[in-house]
Structure 1
């Protein structure tokens, strides 16, 4: 099997490589092609990846290339984990909305829209080449944020694509530690969208234990899920971390204004990681990588790849078409949900009825994502206005008119469709 990673100069790549050893009994990767447009960074990260695999004793042939066509030709699977504009663009996404009193964040709000506008055309261009020259049944797996919008655009264009995030596996591992059980016994079941969901069920050996945890161990849950107890009990679910941006918008904006931007923190961490990766003696992923934000990405991505080529279906939380799963959403909306995955395809598992307090919010954000995906391709400034107006974290015309020029200016180098 040939697996290609686009954006392999990312400091996340060693996470993926470490997962190959863990899944060697389920997934035999003969050729791993690491591709990035930044040749120097690719050599650093790719060289470390080669040492890791050699240390693990895997016979996988690892190739480094800046030639995307060479990378995807005849690939069985292509994973995309890129950041258009790099950390500088992320810093802009996190800061220009704050000037208008709005949340500064790279995957939601005005900053998330800026990232979507930059990213969707690039990912679709990659996917078009994959469709032309990779294996006919190749899977396109997107780890590039904003995952929900990018996945929607990929599926709208007819690509054989799945969106992947590490949020659900992070909750699963947390629950396994909390309950002191093997993670393979734990299955989590969120409802909603990528970076906008509620964990409604936590299964251990098929039994939903979340009601008992909410009743008996609420204090422990709130240590990691920093929401008011009354809110969590009222919802009967654990809101994802990103919901604090919605439930506590004003307080979060005030805190962001007082803090160093996350993009600056990550840039420093990446510089530290890249320096570590240069050491010829380093053969295992360093502990500092845990602070990068991609915890368990390796296991989620490689496990998903293994399942896509296996006869026996296993469960994964991924981003797929709604297709009637959640009444009240359009069939072509993209949801993040628990699915059975095997070589025969992807089958979303049934969801209990979604209460209005969640469904209304999901409908709202899903409508924004639909407009955002369209705006990324249309180059129409009014589509950008529509997306901002539809987003629950903006939603006011005065803010829209303040945010639009800042968004277009900070991302201008990566928005050729919007060139004035």
Structure 2
């Protein structure tokens, strides 16, 4: 088989050992010959630390994979078969601002949801479109696998404004499958969940074990205190009556919509007690991780990485690449153009659904019309996403304001303006489109 070239944009991320571990595990089906980890000057130190760990991991596995570390993005992208984007414009310090700014106005601040996710998207959109232009020129046949948050909104931007073969990816659905399997004490290969919605706003409509519908059983277990949350989201229990009435499995991020007051109180308490928001906590975790990564005796993915919230990322990303490369026709949950999969959403918007993956990409599986108890929220958030994409591309203040006001978690025009002005002021230097 022809050796593959993989470019990882944001290669100095603490998530990278997850990816390396995934490629090592799938060496029989993915003949990776060259793995280019690329970052920017500010990330040089992290790139070298994580890159050297990657080299040790590959050496320990006895594999002939060339690990290249570079600050030259074009060099990394040129002739790549797959390009993975896992970047964070502005780093964790910017994420902390995204979380803190809305909380000043008693509005939820979160990395991907609401006003915080909006700020991250505004910083990311100009960069992701630059990357796409490089792909169009230097590797027009490459697949772009986007893991950069907010993944659905960024994938929407790519598919609307670039000529690149792209699929958006998130580890939440695979996390839900794995956690449900643990709950049931079965192997996850026996489970299938019918997912439908948007990124970080996806529902498990049906859960099947060996082809048998066990949705009610899982909902009853959740009502009895079982948990399907992630390490980066506070584990607040769902309201039992609502969960039974909904008759679907909400993803962990639904807590921000269904338990908004409790989540805001939890975040404000964490700030007041010195624990900090999730970004503050992750900065400490990441500092510890890179100290571990720098140990020259380490040649495996360390278990401490699970604290970072990226569990199963390698399973999701590398298995998706393998499904495309090997024309597997497997079912994966991805962010992809709707194309009629959800009947009460426009055909040309990005949704998160199960799709059959082959060498031509993702073919979404039809789920029909979604019920009003979830379709209304999806439509509101999709309107926000579409306006945010336009604002991120054009830098138009009024469009940005309309985007924030459209989001269900932003309570008023006055508050939206205050937050938007703070975001633009605090992100000066990262928002060239607004200058």
Q: Does 1:149 align with 2:153?
A: yes
Alpha-carbon distance in 2 for matches of 1:217, 1:268:
31
Per the alignment, residue 7 of structure 2 pairs with 4
Mapped pair 1:322 → 2:338: yes
d(CA) in 2 for partners of 1:143, 1:34: 15
- The 8 Å contact of residues 340 and 366 in structure 2, kept in 1 or not, is answered as no
Q: Give the equivalent residue in structure 2 for 1:188.
A: 193
Mapped partners of 1:380, 1:214: distance in 2:
44
Equivalent residue runs for 1:36-55 within 5 Å? 36-37=39-40, 38-55=43-60
Equivalent position SS for 2:224 = helix
SS of equivalent residue, structure 1 residue 172: helix
| Alignment match of 2:267 (pick from 256, 263, 276) | 256
Match of 2:415 among 392, 399, 418: 399
> CA–CA distance in 2 between the matches of 1:311 and 1:69?
28
C-alpha displacement of 1:205: 2.6
Cα contact 1:198–1:237 (8 A) shared by 2: yes
The aligned residue for residue 179 of structure 2 is: 174
Q: Give the equivalent residue in structure 2 for 1:312.
A: 328
Equivalent residues of 1:194, 1:336 under 8 A apart: yes
Matched residue, 1:159: 164
The CA deviation at 1:328 is 1.8
Change (3 A) 1:284 1:222: closer
Instruction: Name the CA shift for 1:184/1:26 in 2 (closer, same or farther; >3 Å).
Output: farther
Task: Name whichever of 385-394 and 398-407 sits farther off.
Answer: 398-407
Helix, strand or coil: the match of 2:207?
A: strand
Separation in 2, partners of 1:288, 1:216: 29
The answer to whether the Cα contact below 8 Å between 1:222 and 1:229 also exists between their aligned partners in 2 is: no
Structure 2 residue aligned with 1:16: 19
Of 137, 143, 158, 1:139 maps to: 143
Per-residue Cα deviation, 1:219-269 (whole angstroms, up to 9, x for no partner): 254575731111111110111111111112122112111101111110011
CA displacement 1:60-91 (0-9 Å, x = unmatched): 11111111111000000000000000011000
Distance in 2 (alpha carbons) for counterparts of 1:58 and 1:234: 52
Unaligned runs of 5+ in 2: 230-234, 271-275
Aligned length: 418
- C-alpha contact 1:317 1:339 (8 A) present in aligned 2: yes
Aligned counterparts of 2:96 and 2:339: Cα–Cα separation in 1: 36
CA distance in 1, matches of 2:222, 2:145: 36
Tell me how far 1:26 sits from its aligned partner. 1.7
Shift of 1:337: 0.6
- Per the TM alignment, residue 185 of structure 1 is displaced from its structure 2 partner at its CA by 2.1
What residue number does 2:347 align with?
331
- CA–CA distance in structure 1, aligned partners of residues 192 and 225 of structure 2: 19
Q: Deviations over 1:301-349 (max 9, x none)?
A: 0000000111331111000011111122111111111011011331111
Separation in 1, partners of 2:328, 2:251: 30
Say if 1:388 and 1:395, in contact at 8 Å, map to a contact too: no
Higher deviation after alignment, 352-361 or 271-280: 352-361
TM-score of the pair, normalised by structure 1: 0.96
In structure 1, runs of 5+ residues without a counterpart are none
Equivalent position to 1:124, from 103, 109, 129:
129
Distance across 2 between alignment mates of 1:215 and 1:289 = 31
> Contact between 2:8 and 2:83, CA under 8 Å: does it hold in 1?
yes
Matched, 1:212 2:217: yes
Deviation at 1:174, TM superposition (A): 1.1
Give the superposition deviation at 1:187.
Answer: 2.0
Alpha-carbon offset, residue 95 of structure 1: 0.3
- Change in Cα spacing, 1:95 to 1:217, as seen in structure 2 (3 Å) is closer
> How far does residue 150 in structure 1 lie from its aligned partner after superposition?
0.3
Matched residues in 2 for 1:199 and 1:106: separation? 22
Aligned to 2:304: 288
Deviation at 1:273, TM superposition (A): 0.6
Residues 212/248 of structure 1: CA separation in 2 closer, same or farther (3 Å cut): closer
- Matched-pair contact (CA < 8 Å) for 1:12–1:294: yes
